[in-house]
Amino acid sequence: MINDKILTLFYLSILNVIIFNLSAADLSPEAMRSPVSQVFQFKVEVKETGWKQGQDSNTVTYLWIPEKTKKVKGVLILCSNAPEHTLVGHEKLRDVCRKHDLAIFWGVRSFYNFASKENEKIVALAEKILVRLAEVSGYQELATVPWIPLGESGHLLMVQALLNHRPERSIAGIALKDPVMANRAWEVPLLSIHGTSHEWNQTKKDYPNIWNGKDRKEGLRSYKDYSETAKARRNWPASLVLDPESGHFEISERLVEYVAEFIDAIVPLRLNPGGELKPIDFSSTYRADLAYRKEQVPTPFAADQTGTGFWYPTKELAKKAQAISDYNWDAESQLIGVANTDGEVFKFSFGGISYIDVNYPTEKHPNAPVVKMLDDGITFELKSIVMDQLPAEFKQAGLPLPKAPGTPTIEWVCGAFEPLGNNRFCMAIDRTWPSPLYFAVRHPGTDNIRGVCQPIQMSRWGEPKTNVAQSIKFDHIEDVKEGSKELPLKAESNRGLPVRFYVDSGPAIIQGDKLIFTEIPPKAKFPIEVEVVAWQWGTSKGEGVRRAKNVHKTFRILKSE
């Protein structure tokens, strides 16, 4: 007991030092986002064969049900591009799901078959997965409840497929960062949030003018396309948000808030109290143009059959969309990046975005700088920079650039690592491993310099180059009764290195070497399986030790008598 108290005081003192040394920017919501402790109570694995194109689909899907929900009325469907990793566990999104009894379906190994054009079969696979989740969770209504698909980049095709092939089951759709124009479900509400810079291949483009449309190729192109469609289809319930400070990969806090507020508004507009879908009552909704060069007051949608603009569920959402796009669209563009602690700048070498090799240069980038893990094998530090000019890999290399004051912050976007503050991070293997590791570096602007965000990918494979292997011994976990509060975990590496844990599925989180149980939804089916994983990353210290093979243990929570 005394040792536990001393250890707790030690960790608290370390935490206080860390917090004391953080700047206000480091404590921004984006900078301290983390994938750690995202609870998903249930998991199913479903295999689909017989595609005309592509390999068999081996899907892995997680389900979160709000802790107080007695009847699920709808389900958010997300897969795993980049911002979805933030959204599935974000408290603002989960709070609105709690309010409206919405479950969250997260396809970490996606059901969408990108090699196949059989969208009907793809949608049927999503429905099959929901049937299995209904069986496993005890919430039988999941098999038939309406959905809100939400996706970014490639998974916009998933959103499009679910809306087009099941409009009668769709509350709304949410598309992030790219347009969804191959739309046939014109009666289904759609929120489309656009960034204004596509960072892929930005090194080959007119960098200062990508974002504002002056290159006549990108930037405001989607605004113009949506405007033309909205004019042609006067009753199309499509809301557009145009964010001048974001690109393709990440999602800022204000955009997360907008997504949550849109869901909060759209659910009562589309669902009866019992959860049945209903048509939109346009009398309470609004039309507004983003009018990115002038102000336009939102007008009642039903009364406005001649004006231009987009549909919004509420006047507040219309005003917020206008406020986001109220910007100096002639502002200059700055460029930000990242460097290692020696000040060596990582090049924009991965399709036009920054790429980080870990511990060792690779054959593909033999002369590139690397980030070095500290002695614990998992902690590393990056530096953010604002460029004076476009670097050599850009077609306009040497072009002088403006610089807004301050220091950019680096944030987690997706993948198995977590922020520690002050641009320090550590590896943290989780249920998404080995999905790609993405950061974003973010820097505000001024009245005349655009605020920007740039993506960075880091290699997953910078493990110590050594022949010294290790293995983990993870003790068996007995079944527990409902109402258990916590459970000690014991695992050892045969090389004496500290073993860490994560919860793959089940109503629990990890705190140190303990499993802490979370609230179980009231209609959950018992027994509930909990899967815990022990991992050890390895170290480059001394002769080095390779990463251990993860060890999985599954036990059950039994119903109390």
Q: What angle do CA 471, 476, 480 make, to 5 degrees?
A: 145
Q: Scan for tokens 């002056």, then name that residue.
A: 214
Query: How many Cα atoms within 13 Å fall on the side-chain side of residue 332?
Result: 12
The identity of residue 163, as a single letter, is L
305-332 burial, b for 16+ CB within 10 Å, e for fewer?
Answer: eeeebbbbbbbebbebbbebbebebebe
- Candidates 14, 6, 10, 25; CA nearest to 443 is 25
Name the CATH code of domain 472-558 (choices 3.30.70.2080, 3.40.50.740, 2.60.40.60, 3.90.580.10): 2.60.40.60
Reduced DSSP (H G I as helix, E B as strand, rest coil) percent helix, strand, coil of the chain, to 5: 20, 30, 50
- Judge contact between 163 and 149, C-beta under 8 A: yes
pLDDT of residue 22: 38
Helix (H) or strand (E) holding 200: none
Burial label, 47 (beta-carbon count in 10 A; 0-12, 13-18, 19+):
exposed
Considering only CA atoms, which of 427, 315, 338 is closest in space to residue 378? 427
CA-based R_g, the chain, Å: 24
What is the DSSP track for 390-455?
A: --TTSTTTT-B----SS--EEEEEESSEEEEETTEEEE---TTTTSPEEEEEEE---SSEE-EEEE
Per-residue pLDDT of the chain (561 residues; tens, 9 = 90+): 334 443 333 333 333 333 333 343 455 778 878 889 999 999 999 999 999 988 999 999 999 999 999 999 999 999 999 999 999 999 999 999 999 999 999 999 999 999 988 999 999 999 999 999 999 999 999 999 999 999 998 999 999 999 999 999 999 999 998 766 567 889 999 999 988 767 889 999 999 988 877 755 555 666 777 778 888 888 899 999 989 998 888 999 999 999 999 999 999 999 999 899 999 999 999 999 886 555 677 888 776 666 678 999 999 999 999 999 889 988 999 999 999 999 999 999 999 999 999 988 888 888 899 999 998 889 999 999 999 999 999 999 999 999 999 999 999 999 999 999 989 999 999 999 999 999 999 999 999 999 999 999 999 887 778 899 999 999 999 999 999 999 999 999 999 999 999 999 999 999 999 999 999 999 999 999 999 999 999 998 888 999 999 999 999 999 987
Pair 371, 358: CB distance under 8 Å: yes
DSSP 344: P
Query: How far, in Å, CA of 467 to CA of 472, rounded?
Result: 17
Report the pLDDT value the prediction gives residue 221, as an integer from 0 to 100: 65
User: In CATH, what class is 42-325?
Assistant: alpha beta
Please give the angle made by the CA atoms of 482, 486 and 488, to the nearest 5 degrees: 125
Q: How many CA atoms lie within 13 A of 554 on its CB side?
A: 7
CB-CB contact of 381 with 341 (8 Å): yes
Measured CA to CA in angstroms, residue 442 lies from 25, 200, 329 at distances of 10, 17, 19
* Terminal Cα-to-Cα distance of the chain (whole angstroms): 32
For the chain, which residues make up each domain, given as ranges?
42-325, 332-458, 472-558
CB of 216 closer than 8 Å to CB of 209: no
- DSSP tag of 203: G
SS (H, E, C) 94-123: HHHHHHHCEEEEEEEECCCCCCCCCHHHHH
The per-residue pLDDT for 400 is 98
Both tokens of 177, joined, read: 């960062």
